[in-house]
Amino acid sequence: MELILRLMAEKKASDVYLSANSTALIKINGRVCRSGDKTPFPFGACEPCWQKFCPWNA
């Protein structure tokens, strides 16, 4: 996740899309692109990720 956030900062991406068993997607200048990391997020890994950054929604 940290690598994706670093890439987003470098590319000035506005959004990240995470889905279980899929690779992360980021939005750059209105276009949705693959993050470059071809490793899919395993099932069950997305929820702990967003809870880390949005604990008020846990």
Summarised one tens digit per residue, pLDDT across range 29-45 is 999 998 877 778 777 77
- Quote the pTM value: 0.69
Q: Are the beta carbons of 27 and 15 closer than 8 angstroms?
A: yes
What does the pLDDT read at residue 56?
66
Task: Reply yes or no on domain 2-57 having CATH 3.40.190.10.
Answer: no
Residue that wins the pLDDT comparison between 32 and 53: 32
Task: Judge whether 26 and 4 are in contact, CB under 8 Å.
Answer: yes
CA 27 from centroid of its chain's CA atoms: 10
SS3 category, 34: strand
At 13, list the tokens.
């991406």
